[in-house]
Structure 1
Amino acid sequence: MALNYELYKVFYQVARDLSFSKAAEKLFISQSAVSQNIKNLEKELKTDLFIRSTKKVQLTEAGKILFEHIEPAFNLIENGEKSIREINSLERGEIHIGANDTISKDFLLPYLKKYHRLYPEIQIQITNRTSSTCIDLLQQNKVDLIISNLPNPKITDQMESQEIYSFNDLFIAGSEFKDLRKKEIKLKELKNYPLLMLESKTTTRRFLENALNNLNIEVEAAVELGSIDLLIEMTKIGLGIALVPEYCLNLKQENLFEIKTKEKLPARKLAVITNKDIPLSKAAEKFIELFDSKPNLTG
């Protein structure tokens, strides 16, 4: 026998209320339609499911057995529908974001704070990887969205890129290089100083090398590091000059200064990257909407 969900739904409601009229009201159908559905189910099962009388409705032994088996299934369905409603109303759910350490700490924090205040029941998960590796996470559907530096050559045609912030990168130095504080130098002069750089796999490192290569300038890293925070700390103790995004530090607080250059590096962007073919959850949509407002960043 093919499973007829509608027949079982009517049976379940009548069995719960032990009333054909109450079941009809809750199912928004006529009482005669309820009776006909029960008759059809009894015909298919070749057994009576209810004892009908003018005063009350009772389950037969077969009806009790059937109700015991289908009640857990309908409870699961009701709980599933409730969960979907809660997710759509942002009363529960989760969002999984991929971003590198610097973006997470120095750019995302104000948005995460606001999001948590607006939707406290939504669980936030953040996976910290390089912008390049975050693309891999997105392709593997391990995150809902990523926040990436642009340009990012690993972004594919199957991904949607929404620019959310424009920024410049700054060459910074500490007191060891105070002779550069009030100077404006040519970019090619940087090769005369120790440069602190991120690892070659990072988008920031590739951006710098490509920008300098376009000017026929070749430089080498005196020290390679794995994070912007380490670049800043190494710069503070005088190990060299570093290039960092402007949003990730306050020069006065860090006791550093910007080295002015005659040639200006192109501005860069931060973008939200998502998969085109995978619908976003309501929680993810609401998070992306926050980027319509300006961030509270130091710089």
Structure 2
Amino acid sequence: MDINFELYKVFYHVARHLNFSEAAQQLFISQSAVSQSIKLLEEKLSCRLFIRHTKQVRLTQEGEALFRHIEQAYHFIKSGEKHIHQIHSLQEGEVRIGASDTICKYYLLPFIRQFHRQYPKIRIHITNRTSPVCIELLKKGIVDLAVVNLPEESLEPSLHVHQLAKVQYAFVAGDAFIDLQGREISIKELEGYPILTLEKNTTTRSLLDAFLLQHNTAITPEIEISSVDLLLEFAKIGLGISFVMEDSLRDMLSMDELFRLNIRETLPQRNLGVLSPANLPVPIAASRFLELLMK
């Protein structure tokens, strides 16, 4: 049965107020239009919905049965409209972000803090994975945004790429390798030292491997782990020389717990970016977070 929802809307207001004139005022239409709508609905349903006397309107048995359902549906619709309004006004909702532990800690934290202060009712859901995995999560719709180390190769057209910053890398060591401090050394010389790196499935490791290959340097890492914080701690206690993002070094360099090696060759940089779907609308909360990142 194909019945225009507007007819049910008119029926709801008449049944609620039991008054055609008041229903017309609520709907901002004429009383005649209300009467015509009710007549058309009764014809389509093949039953009387109201019993009308000169100054009194009451529902028929069929009208009462219909009103119970329409009233519930009307409240559901109003609840849905209210929910949409709250989402658009950022009174509720969530933003789902994919990013590595390193990017979260050393880049995203100030933005997350600011966003939470501006929109305290928006839930922030962070999925910590490597950059390549975060890109896959975005393509599957599991996250709204992916903040990643951008790969060298071009990304597929289904993703929008917004560049955020340049990421500089460094080799760092602790007192166990103090003889290297202040001395310029070539990357080739590091073949004789224990090197600590991230695991192979990370963008940082891929960057290092490509750099070593470019400079004909063969290094087999002494330790491969997934945590930049542990790489720094291991370097601090003398287990080896770690390859890390410079942004992760601030505290330890300022406290003289680590020093940066002076490598003759120019160490690689990587672009940090935020990815969003190109073919799908970005949710309101995620759009606001993206705007914050791009400022």
Q: Tell me, in whole angstroms, the C-alpha distance in 2 between the residues paired with 1:89 and 1:173.
A: 49
Gaps of 5+ in 1: 294-299
Q: Tell me, in whole angstroms, the C-alpha distance in 1 between the residues paired with 2:54 and 2:40.
A: 21
**What is residue 289 of structure 1 aligned with on the other side?**
291
Residue-by-residue CA offset, 1:132-180 (whole Å, 9 max, x unaligned): 1112211211111111012265842211111112121111110011111
Deviation at 1:183, TM superposition (A): 0.9
Q: Tell me, in whole angstroms, the C-alpha distance in 2 between the residues paired with 1:230 and 1:154.
A: 31
Q: Tell me, in whole angstroms, the C-alpha distance in 1 between the residues paired with 2:76 and 2:279.
A: 29
Indicate whether 1:101 and 2:101 are aligned: yes
Residue-by-residue CA offset, 1:244-290 (whole Å, 9 max, x unaligned): 11112321236111111111123212111112112101100000111
- Compared CA separation, residues 225 and 142, structure 1 to 2 (3 A): same
Q: Tell me, in whole angstroms, the C-alpha distance in 2 between the residues paired with 1:86 and 1:183.
A: 60
Q: Tell me, in whole angstroms, the C-alpha distance in 2 between the residues paired with 1:77 and 1:244.
A: 53
Residue-by-residue CA offset, 1:96-147 (whole Å, 9 max, x unaligned): 1111111112211111111111011111111111111112211211111111
User: Matches of residues 234-245 of structure 1 in structure 2 within 5 Å?
Assistant: 234-245=234-245
**What is residue 85 of structure 1 aligned with on the other side?**
85
Amino acid at match of 2:211: A
**What is residue 260 of structure 2 aligned with on the other side?**
258
Amino acid at match of 1:201: N
Deviation at 1:219, TM superposition (A): 1.7
- Compared CA separation, residues 201 and 154, structure 1 to 2 (3 A): farther
**What is residue 247 of structure 2 aligned with on the other side?**
247
Q: Tell me, in whole angstroms, the C-alpha distance in 1 between the residues paired with 2:44 and 2:151.
A: 64
**What is residue 130 of structure 1 aligned with on the other side?**
130
Name the SS of the counterpart of 2:147 in structure 1: strand
Q: Tell me, in whole angstroms, the C-alpha distance in 1 between the residues paired with 2:268 and 2:20.
A: 73
Deviates more, 1:201-210 or 1:247-256: 247-256
Gaps of 5+ in 2: none
**What is residue 296 of structure 1 aligned with on the other side?**
none
Amino acid at match of 2:28: F
CA contact (8 A) 2:207 2:268 kept: no
Name the SS of the counterpart of 1:269 in structure 2: strand
**What is residue 278 of structure 1 aligned with on the other side?**
280
Name the SS of the counterpart of 1:177 in structure 2: helix
CA contact (8 A) 2:3 2:44 kept: no
Deviation at 1:9, TM superposition (A): 1.2
Name the SS of the counterpart of 1:108 in structure 2: helix
TM-score by length of 2: 0.95
Deviation at 1:50, TM superposition (A): 1.6
Q: Tell me, in whole angstroms, the C-alpha distance in 2 between the residues paired with 1:262 and 1:205.
A: 20
- Compared CA separation, residues 118 and 152, structure 1 to 2 (3 A): farther
- Compared CA separation, residues 254 and 244, structure 1 to 2 (3 A): farther
Q: Tell me, in whole angstroms, the C-alpha distance in 2 between the residues paired with 1:178 and 1:103.
A: 29
Deviation at 1:46, TM superposition (A): 2.0
Residue-by-residue CA offset, 1:208-265 (whole Å, 9 max, x unaligned): 1112212222222111111111111110110111111111232123611111111112
Deviation at 1:23, TM superposition (A): 2.2
Name the SS of the counterpart of 1:132 in structure 2: helix
Name the SS of the counterpart of 2:63 in structure 1: helix
Name the SS of the counterpart of 1:168 in structure 2: strand
Q: Tell me, in whole angstroms, the C-alpha distance in 2 between the residues paired with 1:21 and 1:111.
A: 55
**What is residue 201 of structure 2 aligned with on the other side?**
201
Amino acid at match of 1:156: E
Runs of 4+ aligned structure 1 residues displaced above 4 Å come to: none
Amino acid at match of 1:276: A
Q: Tell me, in whole angstroms, the C-alpha distance in 2 between the residues paired with 1:15 and 1:245.
A: 68
Residue-by-residue CA offset, 1:9-65 (whole Å, 9 max, x unaligned): 111122122222232233232221111100101111222212223433322222111
How many equivalent pairs are there?
A: 293
Amino acid at match of 1:165: A
Indicate whether 1:163 and 2:163 are aligned: yes
TM-score by length of 1: 0.93
CA contact (8 A) 2:47 2:62 kept: yes
Task: Report the RMSD for the aligned CA atoms in angstroms.
Answer: 1.6
Amino acid at match of 2:168: N
Amino acid at match of 2:29: I
Q: Tell me, in whole angstroms, the C-alpha distance in 2 between the residues paired with 1:130 and 1:152.
A: 15
